[in-house]
Amino acid sequence: MFQEAINSLKAQGGQQVDIDFSPFATTAKLLYESAFVAERYSGIRAFLEKDKVTGLPLCMLLLLSCSVLSCVL
C-alpha cells in the first residue's frame, strides 16, 4: 500500500527526497518511551478506570502499561 502511494505520487510528477529521519525517531522516543506517557496516563486514569474505556489496541496498550508505574499518583 505504501509503495502504491509512492508510485502514484511519482506518476503525478513527484520526486523522491531523502530526509534525515533521526529527529522524528528522537521525538517518538520522547513521546512513547518516557515520562510523557505516564503523564498522559495520569491525566486520564480516572476516566479509563471508571468507564472501562476501549480504544485502539496499540493506544490502550501504551496507556495501560503506565498503570504499573509508581511515579503515577
- pLDDT by residue, tens only, the chain of 73 residues: 999 999 999 999 999 899 999 999 999 888 877 777 777 777 777 777 776 667 778 777 777 777 666 554 5
Full-model pTM: 0.49
Give, in degrees to the nearest 5, the angle at Cα 10 between 8 and 13.
115
Output the pLDDT for position 49: 74
Buried-state track 16-53, b at ≥16 Cβ within 10 A, e below 16: eeeeeeeeeeeeeeeeeeeeebbeebeeebeebeeeee
